[in-house]
Copies of this chain bind each other. A is one copy, B any other.
Amino acid sequence: MSWVQKQIDKRCVENIRMLVVDAIQEAKAGHPGLPLGMAEVGYVLYRKAMRHNPRNPKWFNRDRFVLSAGHGCLLQYICLHLSGYSSVQIDDLRKLCKLGSRTPGHPENVTTDGIETTTGPLGQGVANAVGLAIAEKHLAARFNKSDCTIVDHRTFCMMGDGCAMEGISNEAASLAGHLKLNKLILIYDDNHNTIDGDTSLAFSEDVPLRFQALGWKTIDVEGVYDDLGTFESALNEAYQELEKPILIRVKSKIGKLSKKEGTSKAHHGTFDDEDVKGMRDAAGWNNRDPFYVSPLVYKEFEQQIKQGQALEDQWNTVLAEYVEKYPSEGDMFIKLVNHQLPEDWRKSLPTFSTDDPVDATRGYSEKCLNALASTLPGLLGGSADLAGSNKAYLKDAGDFNSGSPWGRNIRYGIREHAMAAISNGLALHGSGLIPFAATFLVFSDYMKNAMRLSALSKAGVLYLCTHDSIGLGEDGPTHQPVEQLIGLRAIPNMYVFRPADGNETAGAYMAAIKRRNSPSVIALSRQKVWANIAGSSAEKVERGGYIVSDNSDGRQPEIIIIGTGSELCLCESAAQRLREENRKVRVVSLVCWELFNEQDDDYRKSVLHDHVERRMSVEAGSPLGWREYVGSKGQIMGVSTFGESGSYLDVFEKYGFTPENVLNNALRLLS
């Protein structure tokens, strides 16, 4: 490399550091430790290594970068700005951590173009990156032709000691090793510090050896501050690897250049004046205004814009050739990446009549999922080792693995948390993939933070959560969900469906698949429901709640019984018996609270009249939240304690979920 270029590189890195200091001082908040320590790495990635087009952050074939150590986002914001992304102007750097800014305290894909996934909760980004790398490998296998490569990018991820300690990253890395994701490059900012102090407080494992045990290639980088080439060589070595994902450990200094360098004090917070002066002096920056960017630096990065645009142009040419040569695959590819669902995709879903044999709703789900597999080419996913129990296997779609990356069933192993965060990566790859992730409802607890991030980052993941109540039976209270439904319903932008029968299950799929910017949970029973209910409806699921049956004139039922899922049958059964005694009874299915709450006032009141004070809910889960629907004088039948091991019918009886008990409660309410 020329002497001149080395000087330019040095200046660029210095400028990154100065912007870090300026932004932190201006914000009086934020995390300078990683940005200062990894400025060289950020620079090499954005200016030299990654194939990306700043003028089109959504260019399909770009290399992906995920900052799993999300608190270090200032580094990424600065690199995005210097590279020419319009999403981060110099003024945005001035607004770090300010309300309404495009530079929030942790990186958010929904706020800032150029950010791939929303990170901050540690370890999530590593799993997101595994998802992105799976998406690439899968699509490459499905679409690339020997003479035409349209899917071909790397996935870079940066993690710190925190990410390395979190269990989710080990789960994700273990799977990545198993799947031989050789285009995944994980950069470990090994700075030996966490918030509480030196890592020796709590962390003395041999991280590279662990990754080797997981099937990774590992490379150590020392001396990056003196020579960018050390890191560039590591990348070049990584590119040669054809079998394994790669961990590059960069020995770094947190807060490099500051007085706090090498200590946990550099992790977050501002610098004192003397420290700022010292850093500016060291960079030869003492007479410059805050947020100064050297023209030399902008000029260097301008090349990125040209190179990025050239890469995209080149790719567009190849894509055009592809579409010409392979019109059917080309058409599918273009529809996929444009997030166009096939017309009439809903029509593939099965319909059910009262004469059909009854099944568990997980059984209906299996039919729906497999029907959709044929019409939705982007549908793929898997289970955390419960494919059979969850009935979440695409029968004709093969397993995704290193030997058959075109397969659409991902065997996640017993790694729920990683499964959910990998699913976020699959969804946020932006290629029209519709990931599903299946496990028992109770184990949504293991996935909770990643599910929350699905909602926050608008990743339309489909969570198939079977064994959805104490009706699970013998496995007992550790496996019987009680409080999970309300916990999931409380997540903003999450839709929770609890269908009662075949048609409602189909309806839940319709509503969930349609919402590509929101994750959904479909809660499904282990046990058979008792009927395909005459008044149930796939279409009406879209309204969240609707009248299933009513023998009043429609305005004056004496009582409204509201049920969800496997308990809706109990409501219908009790209602029938009440009607035999000439009672006017309405049964309502409240299959999705969130959708019902979105309906207008008139509709909601037409289903749950205020003036009918005798309202009762029946759901084998926590009673919390139901007061909203039954009103002050209503009654809630729920489960307020943990469940118990026993046969499903014994357990349901003990907890009061029998037609008789629903009837008796209704009669008490009516009396």
Contact = CB atoms under 8 A, between A and B. Distances in A.
Given A490-B486, A632-B631, A174 B203 contact: yes
Contacts of A651: 99
Contact of A478 (B27, B121, B386): B121
Given A97-B646, A162-B414, A449 B456 contact: no
A483 B474 contact: no
Given A165-B174, A195-B388, A490-B622, A204 B209 contact: no
Interface string A393-433: 00000010100000000011111111000000000000000
The 3 residue pairs across chains A and B that have the minimum distance between CB atoms = A167-B167, A99-B646, A104-B645
B104 A414 contact: no
Interface in A31-86: 70-71
A353 interface: no
Interface string A87-130: 00000000001111100111010000000001111110000000
A413 B165 contact: yes
A214 to B, nearest CB: 5
A479 B194 contact: no
Nearest to A629: B627
B202 A213 contact: no
B119 A386 contact: no
A442 B644 contact: no
A381 to B, nearest CB: 14
Contacts of A456: 477-478, 642
A610 B631 CA distance: 13
- Counting every copy of the chain, the complex holds 2
B213 A209 contact: yes
B196 A175 contact: no
Interface string A637-671: 00011101111001100100000000000000000
Contacts of A628: 624, 627
Contact of A446 (B411, B442, B449): B449
A566 interface: no
A106 to B, nearest CB: 5
A105 B415 contact: no
Given A203-B174, A642-B492, A108 B476 contact: yes
Given A101-B645, A415-B167, A120 B475 contact: yes
A202 B122 contact: no
B195 A389 contact: yes
15 contacts: A105-B645, A106-B478, A121-B446, A165-B171, A165-B413, A165-B414, A167-B171, A177-B204, A178-B204, A448-B448, A448-B487, A483-B491, A492-B640, A493-B641, A610-B632
Interface string A595-630: 000000000000000100000000000101101100
A254 to B, nearest CB: 14
A490 B453 contact: no
Contact of A201 (B411, B449, B487, B610): B411
A482 interface: yes
Contact of A202 (B118, B178, B487): B178
A473 to B, nearest CB: 8
Interface in A496-551: none
A31 to B, nearest CB: 9
Contacts of A493: 641-642
Given A482-B492, A486-B486, A625-B625, 6 more contacts: A106-B477, A118-B478, A167-B170, A206-B215, A455-B642, A493-B642
Contacts of A399: 201
A161 interface: yes
B386 A195 contact: yes
Nearest to A453: B478
A445 interface: yes
B165 A386 contact: no
Interface residues of A, number: 110
A477 B458 CA distance: 13
B195 A175 contact: no
Nearest to A478: B120
Interface string A442-464: 11011011001101100000000
Contacts of A491: 482-483
Nearest to A171: B167
A275 interface: no
B476 A106 contact: yes
Contacts of A412: 202
A477 B455 CA distance: 11
A645 B27 CA distance: 12
A599 to B, nearest CB: 16
Given A106-B475, A167-B171, A100 B646 contact: yes
A625 B485 CA distance: 13
A100 B645 CA distance: 8
Nearest to A194: B385
Contact of A474 (B30, B166, B449): B30
A486 B625 CA distance: 9
Contacts of A418: 167
Nearest to A450: B445
